[in-house]
Each structure stands twice: as structure tokens, then as C-alpha cells.
Amino acid sequence: MKTRILLIEDDENITELVRYNLERSNYVVDTAMDGEEGLMRASEEAPDLILLDWMLPNLSGLEICRRLRRSPETANVPIIMLTARADEPDRIRGLETGADDYVTKPFSPKELIARIQAVLRRVRPALAGQKLSFEDISLDNVSHRVMRGDVLIHLGPTEYRLLRHFMENPGRVFSREQLLDSVWGHDVYVEPRTVDVHIRRLRKAINVNGLTDYIRTVRSAGYALDSRR
């Protein structure tokens, strides 16, 4: 699932510049031309981050920021202000109002993206890495969650570690002994055949309905997480 960013900005040139660069960096960009529209979009779309112009027709950026923070739906969405006003009192006022950061125009796309990532890393660690994915399976180590498509999957501790190990090394075949070593630990003695049972449990858990089974059995070698059959 891509990270969605809402851009509230009235200058079309900037809008297009930002959209182009963010989309190239794999973000989904939604835009609003003024404050009213911005507030509406923000509560409807629940974006992961908001880029907010300081100078807007009708409502000022500062006021938007205040309102976004007040509404429970958007109170926790990080906000980066875009501003031409580089003077210190304004910067301080912006930060005090609840913006998480601000970028002064003219800004370079690279810096904007670096700032976005820095803010996201803080606010939603899950959005900035730490997340493994393979085809439509995703595993988040921070929240310990596994999803297949958008279905939440429950795994026992061992199946979780097993899947994580596979997802950390996709495509690679592991023998039962290797799996026991790296998933169970070098010091535990467990029957190699036990691995079969856990593979079974993992398969059962992640292949809800008739979904394709990405765990490939390699006869007399072991198992692998793999898209090819």
C-alpha cells in the first residue's frame, strides 16, 4: 500500500512540480486548490501526510493547520508547511501551530522528499521501511502484523518467524536443518520433520480461500518462498 500525500496549494506550477516528483518517488498524490477543499479532502481521504501552503486564498495555511489539528480524524496526520516566508518569527509561529516541519520556497524536490521521509519515519515507522513484502503478502516487524492483500493474518510466534525468514530471503531454498537453525535457534533440538508441520500451519494461515501458495516444496532439498510454481 503506497503512502498517500495530500497537497494543499493554489499555485498550479508548484502543484505540478511536486506531484511529478512525489509520484516518481512512489507516493500517491492528491491535491486541493484551496483551504476549504483541503480540509474536506483531508478528512475524507485520510492521507498519510499533508503538504500545506502557507499562503492560500480565503483561509490561511496557519488556520488550516489549526483546524486539521483540532479535528480528531486529522489530528495525528503529520503536516509539512510550504512557505516563501523565511523569516524567523513566521517559522516559529508555524512550528508552534502544530506543523511538523516546513520547507521554504523555492525548495528542491530532493530536499522535500528527504523531509517527508524524515517526518514519516518519526510518525509512522511502519510507513518508512521495517516492512517486508512479497507479492501480496506484507509483514510489519514494528506492529508484528501480517497481511495477505488486505486481510489480516494471525500467525503463532513460530510461523511468524518462519514467514519473516522466508520474506527476508525470498526465492532461496532452505533445508529443514537450516530452517531449524535460523528460525528455532542453533541450540534447540527439534525433529526436522517438525518443520513440515509448521510449514503446513503457515500455508494454511496465509492461503485463505483459494489464494496461490507461494511456499514451494523442493523435494529432498527443503522449502522456499517463491512466485514461480
Residue 158 contacts DNA per CB under 7 A: yes
Stretch that binds a copy of itself, among 32-40, 51-59, 110-118, 182-190 (CB under 8 A): 110-118
Specify burial of residue 2 (Cβ count, 10 A radius: 0-12, 13-18, 19+).
exposed
Among positions 24, 66, 122, 204, the unique one binding a copy of itself when judged by CB under 8 A:
122
Between the two ends of the chain, the Cα-to-Cα distance in Å is 25
CB of residue 28 to a copy of itself, shortest distance in Å: 21
Residue 108 contacts a copy of itself per CB under 8 A: yes
Among positions 2, 24, 66, 121, the unique one binding a copy of itself when judged by CB under 8 A:
121
User: With helix as H, strand as E and coil as C, how does 2-43 read?
Assistant: CCEEEEECCCHHHHHHHHHHHHHCCCEEEEECCHHHHHHHHH
User: Which residue, 31 or 146, is less far from a copy of itself as judged by CB?
Assistant: 146
> For residues 192 and 177, is the Cβ–Cβ distance under 8 A?
yes
Helix/strand/coil for 50: strand
Site string for DNA, 128-157 (x = CB under 7 A): --------------------------x-xx
